[in-house]
Structure 1
Amino acid sequence: MRKVVAAAFASLDGVMQAPGGPSEDPTGGFTHGGWTVDYWDEPMGQFMGEIFSSPFDLLLGRKTYEIFAAHWPFVEGGDPTAEMFNSVTKYVATSSKEPLAWTNSVALRGDVAAEIARLKQEDGPNLLTQGSSILLQTLLAHDLIDEFRILIFPLVLGQGKRLFGRGTKPGALKLAGTTVSTTGAIMSVYDRAGAISKGSFALEHPSEAELARRERMKRED
């Protein structure tokens, strides 16, 4: 079986749109493209190197695929990331009938969640997402992500496409590793940890004021 590993850059308020440049994705009037660039340092490069250190196939949404396909095949000078991305299989969630020109690209059409669930049952390397905020919402809604590798940057963007949307299924995570860059980015690995465990810090015998507060909340809801 294969795991789906979601790797993403996110701001402190969960925005992941256009981290690499102003022209990546200005849709929705997003004007902060390129917000990760000034934070890049050696520990961040090492964290990304660990993500790519095990065999993987890429699992991408159409827009991220188009960004990558217009960039990585044209990087010269033996860049190791370009060589990796150009050689691996790219699974692309798309409703377009247009052919995928980047070598080793496979379109996932129709019921994308079912297609990815089928891929997970096969033998092969893990399926690694990059960006792909819309695809991530499908993966989250269908509980298909096994591991998160998230880089949280110390800034607030306010608007933009978000890592966790409204359709995300609740669930607990277990921190498997974390490090901090010299520029303040927090880089963490999380594994799935089942259902959310709940408890309460409330008094065993609530006060009259607390009971009244609860009643007000019910009326105002």
Structure 2
Amino acid sequence: MRKVIVGAFVSMDGVMQAPGGPQEDPVGDFRYGGWLVPYFDDTLGVKVGEIFARPFDLLLGRKIYDIFAAHWPYVGPEEPLGALFDQIEKYVATRNEHFKPSWQNSQVLGADAVAAVRKLKEQEGPDLLTQGSTDFLQTLHAHDLVDEMYIMIFPLVLGKGKKLFADGAAPAAFNLLSTQASDSGVIVNHYVRAGDIETGSFAADNPSPAELERRRQLGL
């Protein structure tokens, strides 16, 4: 069985949009493209390298696929990640039925991307690692297809932009496997899926008349 593993750079308010540069994704008049760059230190580089050190294929939304396809095949040998991305399989989610990927070892998930991901997860092979892909990620979260997450939280608030989670995500519990802070203040958290959400209550066994009235007004 293959896992879907999310790798996400996010601000403290959950924004993922255009971390790498101003031209990456200015949709919606997003003005802070490149917000990741000032915080990317050696510690963070090591953690990202650890994620890519595990065997994986890439699972990408169309926009991030286009960004990667316009960059990684053209980097020099001093960027070993380019050669790695060239060699591995890349699965692309797109609504354009006529889209034909130009990057080698790439294939489209098809009209039903959710069903295609479920089928991939049932197969033997390397895990499926996402990068960026906010719209597609929200689809994966809505159908409870995410098994692990590496969430790198940067110490800034962006106020607007595309987010890691949106309304409609399937309720799910995760265990925190590890956490580490970089010198620049980035918190790297590694989560793994952990079943259903458990709830409890701090309410008094004998609620006061005021509390009972509050509940009545809420229709509880």
* C-alpha distance in structure 1 between counterparts of 2:172 and 2:108, whole Å: 29
The residue correspondences of 1:18-167 to structure 2 (distance < 5 A) are: 18-96=18-96, 97-167=98-168
* C-alpha distance in structure 2 between counterparts of 1:33 and 1:218, whole Å: 45
Code of the residue aligned with 1:194 in structure 2: it is G
Q: Percent identity?
A: 55
- TM-score with structure 2 length normalisation? 0.97
Structure 2, unaligned runs of 5 or more: none
1:6 CA drift (Å): 0.6
Code of the residue aligned with 2:213 in structure 1: it is A
2:214 aligned partner: 213
- TM-score with structure 1 length normalisation? 0.96
1:218 CA drift (Å): 3.6
1:215 CA drift (Å): 2.5
* C-alpha distance in structure 1 between counterparts of 2:36 and 2:28, whole Å: 19
* C-alpha distance in structure 1 between counterparts of 2:39 and 2:78, whole Å: 24
Any conservation in 1 of the 2:21–2:35 contact (CA below 8 Å)?
A: yes
2:177 aligned partner: 176
* C-alpha distance in structure 2 between counterparts of 1:217 and 1:68, whole Å: 50
Alignment length, in residue pairs?
A: 219
* C-alpha distance in structure 2 between counterparts of 1:3 and 1:204, whole Å: 43
1:211 CA drift (Å): 1.5
Report Cα offsets for 1:66-108 as digits up to 9, x if no partner. Answer: 0100111111133111111111110000122121111110111
Code of the residue aligned with 1:190 in structure 2: it is Y
Any conservation in 1 of the 2:77–2:83 contact (CA below 8 Å)?
A: no
Secondary structure at the aligned position of 2:151 is classed as strand
Secondary structure at the aligned position of 2:197 is classed as coil
* C-alpha distance in structure 1 between counterparts of 2:25 and 2:216, whole Å: 46
2:5 aligned partner: 5
Secondary structure at the aligned position of 2:152 is classed as strand
* C-alpha distance in structure 2 between counterparts of 1:104 and 1:46, whole Å: 27
Secondary structure at the aligned position of 1:78 is classed as coil
* C-alpha distance in structure 2 between counterparts of 1:86 and 1:101, whole Å: 11
* C-alpha distance in structure 1 between counterparts of 2:212 and 2:112, whole Å: 47
Report Cα offsets for 1:47-84 as digits up to 9, x if no partner. Answer: 10110111100000000000100111111133111111
* C-alpha distance in structure 1 between counterparts of 2:83 and 2:40, whole Å: 21
Code of the residue aligned with 2:105 in structure 1: it is N
Code of the residue aligned with 1:215 in structure 2: it is R
1:194 aligned partner: 195
Secondary structure at the aligned position of 1:91 is classed as strand
Off by >6 Å, runs of 4+ in structure 1 = none
1:14 aligned partner: 14
* C-alpha distance in structure 2 between counterparts of 1:113 and 1:158, whole Å: 30
1:115 CA drift (Å): 0.3
